Structure 1
Amino acid sequence: MSAPSIFNDVLGPVMRGPSSSHCAGALRIGRLARDLMQGDIKQALIEYDPNGSLVTTHKSQGSDMGLFGGFLGWDADEEQLVNYESHLEQAGITTEIQYRSIGATHPNTYKLSLSNNNISHEFTALSTGGGMIEVIAIDQAPVHFMGDSYVLVVYPQFTDPLALETLTNSLNSQLEAENKHLQAELSQGIKPIIIIESAQEFGDTLIQRICQQCQTQDYRLLNPVMPVLSNPDMTLPFMDARQLLDYIQSHNAKPLPLIALEYESARSGLNHQQLMAKMSGIHQVMRSAVNTGLQGTQFADRILPSQSPAFRAKHLSNELLPSSILNEAVMHVSAIMEAKSAMHTIVAAPTAGSCGAMAGAVLGAAKVMDSSDEQVCEALFVAGLIGVLITKDATFAAEEAGCMAECGSGSSMAAAALVALHNGDTEQCLTAASMALQNSFGMTCDPIANRVEAPCLGKNVMAASNALSCANMALAGFDQVVPIDEVIIAMAKVGKAIPHELCCTALGGLSQTPTAQKIEKQLSGSEGVTEVLRFKSC
């Protein structure tokens, strides 16, 4: 059973780059592809479908950087990511990118054809938002795994359908005796493959027994790329927002931070102390990003200059309109976004494009309120839980639902976290989350010059401001009207109605203004009129 994790799906990855779905998601896909090739990639053909978003965004939003960093075996926060091209050349890896119809049903579909002197493979995967991925085909054989487990891929040396079915049944009988959670699945592509997933590493003895039955030594071992592994023994207290509301009614004495800890403990198998330690690490990365931004940042391929230091100076000298907690939030949001744009390490929360909204609002408020580190971590768990509910029934991917999916989700998460930080009760937290998400419906994703800076900075600031307002409205007893579970379902439907041109494709809105096109030409160094690629809706 697959279920969202606060640390896999919502608060993370810890990464560098403008976009988590483009950079971190692509890097994780590249890491798995590298494992499939046994760590040796020499040639790579990457195909993107014109009906998706990657044709117009793969270079400027970091898909190339992430994917090729994965080919090199790097982590998402690798300092050398920005220099990936020279490292790719040193490794002797040649790449080609083609745009053609591949029948993609998701806007972030990566189809890879990989080879070296000895082997070749095809690998198709999706970047589903916020750094999350889904592998859907290996050598044209349909598969389904999400990078949170060890995956054994075995190539049997016979092709007779009846023999393969008998083999699979025999393997499953033996695997069940070995581990009740292990199951072999047969899939047919260019040639048949056997797929086995495990939450633990495969021992050499088990691998050899499986290979012996398959009459082969041709196998691949793909390692997990997520921080929290699958947990086949998990029994979750709830699965979605509706079930959470029912759970709260029967456990009305439990504060929401504790409920969030219980959920993640059930999902991950980690105890509360271990989870608090992980959240403390996330908190420290967020604070470091704020400090980095406020010191001033520089980066060549960038639209906006460093602006948060000047805002801080004006704020400290009382030259701004008086609003201490809002001004702190704006300053923190701006600093985090500037750190991201200069390729410093940030936490995608829930995405890199919206990394400033929730973190900036919570850290800014915590500074004014003099909150302890423990209180901030508890508030971040509340934010993470709201994110789990959103990703379960909607999405964080702007390619699917515009900026509503990113900054809208971040605002909802922040609103609940702010109420928790102020010791509000569970009902107030959920009311704030609902109102903030309602206010975010229909937000477009139309980045200027295809960089995740403008209007992204303003939308992150707006999301934080919305969260602060909704938190106070909830604390004052305002009526949410529509509960959070219904709002999330409605959000998913609205996302499907947003035009393709306004979902991170740079084909509409501000992306197509004369100023945006002029800036893009200046950054790319191109002359003349830039051709506008137009594709049908996904």
Structure 2
Amino acid sequence: MPSTLPASIFNDVLGPIMRGPSSSHSAASVRIARLARDLAGGHVDHALIEFDPNGSLATTHASQGSDLGLFAGLLGWEADDPRLPEGHKALVEQGVEVEIVVRAIGATHPNTYRLTVTNRELGATHVLEADSLGGGMIVVHRIDALDVELFGDQIAHVFGGADGALRVQIGKGVALERQGNELWERRLNRVLPVPTPSGLRLPFSSVAAMTAQADPTQRPLSAWALEYECARGGLDESEVLSQMSKIRDVMRGSIDAGLNGTDWGDRILGNQSAGFRSAWDQGQLLDGGMLNRMVLYVTALMEAKSAMEVIVAAPTAGSCGLFAGTCLAAADALSLDDGPTLRSMLSGGLIGVFVALRSSFAAEVGGCQAETGAGSAMAAATLVEMMGGNAAQSLSAASLALQNVLGLVCDPVANRVEAPCLGRNVSGASNALVSANMALAGYDALIPFDEVLDAHRQISQSMPRELRCTALGGLSITPTSKALEQRLCGGCDS
């Protein structure tokens, strides 16, 4: 289930920077379609998009943003492009024909995309098949008749021979030398922010291996986070902190956008953060201390996400409010400077790396425990470090937080990533705060974080398909949910 590509804080956990309701849908699909466009030679005249009926995308591709992302990617746009909602219109204006079909394609992953793209000028038609792994991460596993494993972290060159045979080579150059009877070459550009350097050697790939290097009670988790991401991306500490600062700034902008009020037609919930702020200002709420600020920021972020504002999927779009809202609310309440804030958030990013290495963020794979569960664990570790805690305490907080939500299902109301997502993001913030305080007070998490992640993965494998973001069970099929879905899609069949 976990990707074989070594996880990166900025590739897998704190990113992508995007618009849309779901990173598994509306960000991953942009990346997949961009690679398909490259395979077609930089222009697509016709695209056939196929989803397997046994996967998640068969029932969610329209309402959760896969179509929106695919249209943008076929046009060569980025995941945060402000034109994203107009992608289909732009394709029509350019004369690009798109067919979307649900039929058996033998997919073994719930988020499999098969794109058949044609460039008539080149007389070329190619097939690209890829999976969305969660948090915007992808793997291309087939090009035409060739089995491959491409993650979008490096430039890939595809060569075609007169006999129809293909060869794929990873390289940095604009074009590589053809061999034998190879007639054509396509360059598939990198779609991830952090490339994989040649000769990559990770300093550790599990909590156990990390803490074997030094006493976790004697250093903060962020020290290891910096070491890891520097090695993973071939970066120095200043570059890692600069990227973390950029991401923090985008998160701040998303909170501001939500608090300023958002409007979007295709959504269930309106602007509720303004009402919460007003009630808080007027003393109408119970004294939640820092938690009330967290609720406000988390809600604002989720509203920005649902209104197609720019967000950071951290670790996913469906859980984008939890980590950012919780951590930035705490930083404001504690009046933290940039340095401690950025380093503490990197410690949460490292918790996410361990999730990516050992389990999954994708709700289609593991339900909401995969999204808000991971986000709550990340936030808990960050809060501990913001209070001056050490790595052992951060790991304990993450373990407690994830234990508290194991088995949490994903059952979106009206097939939209809004409810119960908002409540679960807010609850995840409360869980993170409580878990952090328990760890700081010396509560015993008992189960090491590596072992909690193994349980997380095993539960994912046991969870019924209907409870993993398919809109086929739980709250998704209540009468109210179905009625809302009918209203939002104008009376269409669900």
Instruction: Give the shorter-chain TM-score range.
Output: over 0.9
Runs (5+) with no aligned partner, structure 1: 159-190, 532-538
The question of 1:378 aligning with 2:343 is answered yes
- What SS does the aligned partner of 1:405 have? helix
| Distance across 2 between alignment mates of 1:516 and 1:46 | 28
| Distance across 2 between alignment mates of 1:12 and 1:214 | 41
Which residues in structure 2 correspond to 1:361-376 (within 5 Å)? 361-376=326-341
| Distance across 1 between alignment mates of 2:362 and 2:144 | 27
- What SS does the aligned partner of 2:114 have? strand
The question of 1:240 aligning with 2:206 is answered yes
| Distance across 2 between alignment mates of 1:244 and 1:282 | 25
1:404 touches 1:444 (CA, 8 Å); kept in 2? yes
Question: Once the 2 structures are TM-superposed, how far is the Cα of residue 319 of structure 1 from its aligned partner?
Answer: 1.4
Corresponding letter in the other structure for 1:193: L
Out of 180, 184, 187, the residue aligned to residue 221 of structure 1 is: 187
Question: Once the 2 structures are TM-superposed, how far is the Cα of residue 416 of structure 1 from its aligned partner?
Answer: 0.2
The question of 1:197 aligning with 2:170 is answered yes
Per-residue CA distance 1:444-495 (angstroms, 9 max, x = gap): 1000111100000000001111000000000000010101010001100011
2:71 touches 2:91 (CA, 8 Å); kept in 1? yes
The question of 1:313 aligning with 2:313 is answered no
Describe the shift of the 1:408–1:511 C-alpha distance in structure 2 as closer, same or farther (beyond 3 A). same
The question of 1:116 aligning with 2:119 is answered yes
Look up the match of 2:148.
143
- What SS does the aligned partner of 1:406 have? helix
| Distance across 2 between alignment mates of 1:2 and 1:113 | 25
Corresponding letter in the other structure for 2:202: L
Question: Once the 2 structures are TM-superposed, how far is the Cα of residue 252 of structure 1 from its aligned partner?
Answer: 5.8
Per-residue CA distance 1:109-150 (angstroms, 9 max, x = gap): 001111121110011011110000000000021000100001
Look up the match of 1:90.
93
Look up the match of 1:256.
221
Look up the match of 2:75.
72
Percent of residue pairs identical: 49
Question: Once the 2 structures are TM-superposed, how far is the Cα of residue 217 of structure 1 from its aligned partner?
Answer: 3.7
Corresponding letter in the other structure for 2:263: Q
Look up the match of 1:464.
429
Corresponding letter in the other structure for 2:194: V
**Which deviates the most, 81-90 or 11-20?**
81-90
2:399 touches 2:445 (CA, 8 Å); kept in 1? yes
- What SS does the aligned partner of 1:291 have? helix
Corresponding letter in the other structure for 1:298: D
Describe the shift of the 1:493–1:466 C-alpha distance in structure 2 as closer, same or farther (beyond 3 A). same
Out of 425, 433, 438, the residue aligned to residue 473 of structure 1 is: 438
Per-residue CA distance 1:359-390 (angstroms, 9 max, x = gap): 11101111111111222111110010000001
Per-residue CA distance 1:49-100 (angstroms, 9 max, x = gap): 0110001000000000001100000000000101111111112111111111
Per-residue CA distance 1:266-304 (angstroms, 9 max, x = gap): 000010001100000000000111111011110000100
Question: Once the 2 structures are TM-superposed, how far is the Cα of residue 216 of structure 1 from its aligned partner?
Answer: 3.0
2:218 touches 2:390 (CA, 8 Å); kept in 1? no
Out of 8, 13, 18, the residue aligned to residue 10 of structure 1 is: 13
1:324 touches 1:368 (CA, 8 Å); kept in 2? no
| Alignment coverage as a number of residue pairs | 489
1:21 touches 1:397 (CA, 8 Å); kept in 2? yes
Which residues in structure 2 correspond to 1:348-359 (within 5 Å)? 348-359=313-324
- What SS does the aligned partner of 2:213 have? helix
Corresponding letter in the other structure for 1:522: R
Measured on the aligned residues, the alpha-carbon RMSD in Å equals 1.2
| Distance across 2 between alignment mates of 1:124 and 1:449 | 28
Look up the match of 2:60.
57
Corresponding letter in the other structure for 2:51: Y
Out of 489, 508, 520, the residue aligned to residue 454 of structure 2 is: 489
Which residues in structure 2 correspond to 1:519-538 (within 5 Å)? 519-526=484-491, 530-531=493-494
Question: Once the 2 structures are TM-superposed, how far is the Cα of residue 214 of structure 1 from its aligned partner?
Answer: 2.5
1:129 touches 1:351 (CA, 8 Å); kept in 2? yes
Look up the match of 1:508.
473
Question: Once the 2 structures are TM-superposed, how far is the Cα of residue 337 of structure 1 from its aligned partner?
Answer: 0.2
Question: Once the 2 structures are TM-superposed, how far is the Cα of residue 243 of structure 1 from its aligned partner?
Answer: 1.4
Question: Once the 2 structures are TM-superposed, how far is the Cα of residue 333 of structure 1 from its aligned partner?
Answer: 0.3
1:46 touches 1:111 (CA, 8 Å); kept in 2? yes
Per-residue CA distance 1:215-234 (angstroms, 9 max, x = gap): 33411110000000111222
Question: Once the 2 structures are TM-superposed, how far is the Cα of residue 203 of structure 1 from its aligned partner?
Answer: 4.5
1:237 touches 1:247 (CA, 8 Å); kept in 2? no
| Distance across 2 between alignment mates of 1:281 and 1:505 | 34
Larger Rg: 1 or 2? 1
Runs (5+) with no aligned partner, structure 2: none
2:254 touches 2:311 (CA, 8 Å); kept in 1? yes
The question of 1:422 aligning with 2:427 is answered no
1:157 touches 1:214 (CA, 8 Å); kept in 2? no
Look up the match of 1:389.
354
Look up the match of 2:48.
45
Which residues in structure 2 correspond to 1:162-177 (within 5 Å)? none
Out of 283, 308, 312, the residue aligned to residue 343 of structure 1 is: 308
Look up the match of 1:129.
134
- What SS does the aligned partner of 2:182 have? coil
Question: Once the 2 structures are TM-superposed, how far is the Cα of residue 156 of structure 1 from its aligned partner?
Answer: 2.6
- What SS does the aligned partner of 2:340 have? helix
Corresponding letter in the other structure for 2:102: Y
Corresponding letter in the other structure for 2:173: F
Look up the match of 1:177.
none
Look up the match of 2:259.
294
Corresponding letter in the other structure for 2:276: F
Per-residue CA distance 1:409-456 (angstroms, 9 max, x = gap): 000000000001111011100000000000010111000111100000
| Distance across 1 between alignment mates of 2:385 and 2:145 | 48
| Distance across 1 between alignment mates of 2:196 and 2:446 | 37
2:219 touches 2:390 (CA, 8 Å); kept in 1? no
